Structure 1
Amino acid sequence: MRILNNSKENIKLAGSEIKNGKIIVFPTDTVYGVGADYKNKNAIKKIYEYKIRNSKKPLILLISKIEYLDEIIKVENELEKEIIEKLSERFWPGSLSLILKKNRVKLKELNPEYDTIGVRIPNNKIALELIENAGGIIATTSANISNKETPKNFSELDDGFINKVDYVIKSEDEIIGIPSTIIEISENGYKILRVGSVTEEEIEELL
């Protein structure tokens, strides 16, 4: 494991290393996360092993720009498209996760037993630069061993976990630590699965 400060050079290095199959721990706007190449089966497997995570529990995707969304999802109709556009324009970057029907061809290595995928754009400069340098899309989850406390700052990272990964990007910035709101979107409309930073009132007012 190598700890990197959050210089542009180091973030660029970490992004390129994700493309090489490495596992990176990095800050987001909600928690410290662990990320890997979403197309790399072995890298994804390592995340599950390092976290001691149930293999049936899916990872999500973080993207750096809305343009990358079309590569990984399948939109069924105009209603679904309209809801996605409204929510993403209003709340991204930010702590809103959308559960969408996935493009199985593009995401064949990630959560193969699921037809949907969770996606969001984080509101964190380091995370956005890292993801962009990794190609714009990464697979991720929280940087902790399953069922242990979720780290919201660098000081809360567990040595037993981070000693397994390849790189850790250090940030002294305070992370808000409020979970993202989760909305599932389908051809029939939307359903709020978890209320977090974005409130139910904000969503209903918009939609």
Structure 2
Amino acid sequence: MALLHRAELRPSKLELLVPWLPGRPWFAGEAGAEVTRVAAYRFDDPAGEVGVETLLVRAGDGPVLQVPLTYRGAPLAGADEHLVGVIEHSVLGRRWAYDACGDPVYPPLLAAAVLADAGQAEEYFEVDGKREMRPASMTLTGSRTGRPVPTGPVSAGPVDSGGTVVRVGEVELAVVRQPVPADVPPAGGLTGTWPGQDEPVLLAYAR
């Protein structure tokens, strides 16, 4: 479960991505153009400390790009190269936003979604002491491979124009940065749909 806050963010998440995205090898779109949100999904950090959100966005009239992010209340040691930027959150204070592929919290959560169809976190707002559920903006479908979900050492692998590789234990996962409809590989995959995108797109897969 993800508990969200009705808060002001400076800069906003999308504003943060405007200067960051063009420097990625997988970027496509108009450099410096407005970044717009297409859909999003979240995973639950078991420790409840790190926000884990994946944004599907466009830069100008470019294709859909997949941007997994983590939000932390303090800098992540040794992860400067993965820092997207710093956000001032009117409720939580300063938050450090990272490319989730370089954050050790993310790969095990992605592995659970890809290999065991763990799904996305339910999102809630707290209003006047009561929790109100936020409808999901997209649908996720993972594979039920029967393989155990790894929990071993985590690392980030190569990045290219097609995507980013992360590893957890003996499992290697590819995050598709420009998701399009594609077959799910036999080793397992994660697909998504959203309003206006009825044909599932491949978001990530086991290699």
Question: So what's the TM-score if we normalise by structure 1?
Answer: 0.27
| Larger proportion of strand | 2
Greater length-normalized contact order (CA 8 Å, ≥ 6 residues apart): 1
Question: So what's the TM-score if we normalise by structure 2?
Answer: 0.27
| Larger proportion of helix | 1
